[in-house]
Amino acid sequence: MATTADFKNGLCIDFNGKPCSIVWFQHVKPGKGPAFVKCKLRNLENGRILENTFTAGVKVDTINVERRPYQFLYADEDGFHFMHEETFEQIHLPKDVVENSDLMKEGQRVEMMFLADEERCLTCELPTYVTLEVTYAEPAVKGNTASTSALKEVTLETGATIMVPLFINQGDVITVNTSDRTYGQRQ
């Protein structure tokens, strides 16, 4: 059990029977009335952001989560197969659990969050940046920069499509930010 005084970003709590993580919180002491804590919670099962206000000092149930390193092995029609990097145990996850799965290539390291009491996988997170090869890119046309954004769409080795600057060509190796699917840099 914890109270609102123990709140910090990343703390995992049981909110309305669902595992949630505190994304943001603010302790407010108005001039009139009791103090309260406004916070934003991320539902760890579906990723939705919830807003809630707790009365100061109220007790909440904390949950025990573990982060474990896994390696992506392969995908099939049922979903994705991963292997724990230390115990070599293999697990299978459905496709809807993994965000930005089209940026994941075989051998990619990922970090999974498990609900420790139930041994249930809550999330599968890719690293912040992944390095991928461009397999298809339209050649840049001179004078094409008249528009406000000088970007073009390319296809990566995993089949994902993202927008990149015009100087990126087929065969280039680039880094991609997995959180917002943006171009990072050319290798």
The two three-digit tokens of residue 26, written as one number: 């603010």
Residues 158/159/165/170 CA torsion (nearest 10 deg): 80
Phi, psi for residue 97 in degrees, rounded to 5: -80, -30
Fold of 129-186: OB fold (Dihydrolipoamide Acetyltransferase, E2P) (2.40.50)
Residue 84 burial by Cβ neighbours in a 10 Å radius (0-12, 13-18, 19+):
middle
d(CA 36, CA 42) in angstroms, rounded, equals 19
The secondary structure of 55-84 as a DSSP string is: ETT-EEEE--EEEEEEEEEEEETTEEEEEE
Residue 82: per-residue pLDDT: 93
Q: Classify 95 as helix, strand or coil.
A: helix
Question: Within the chain, which residue ranges are assigned CATH 2.30.30.30?
Answer: 2-62
Residue 48: per-residue pLDDT: 87
Residue 173: per-residue pLDDT: 92
Residue 145: per-residue pLDDT: 60
The two three-digit tokens of residue 148, written as one number: 């406000």
pTM of structure: 0.75
Residue 41: per-residue pLDDT: 94
Contacts of 18 (CB under 8 A, 6+ apart): 43, 44, 45
Fold of 2-62: SH3 type barrels. (2.30.30)
pLDDT of the chain, 187 residues: tens digit per residue: 889 889 999 899 999 989 999 999 999 999 888 999 999 999 888 888 999 999 998 999 999 988 899 999 998 888 899 999 889 999 998 887 788 888 899 999 999 988 888 888 888 889 999 999 999 988 876 666 655 567 888 999 998 999 998 888 889 999 999 888 899 888 8
Question: Within the chain, which residue ranges are assigned CATH 2.40.50.140?
Answer: 65-125, 129-186
Domain 65-125 has CATH 2.60.40.1190: no
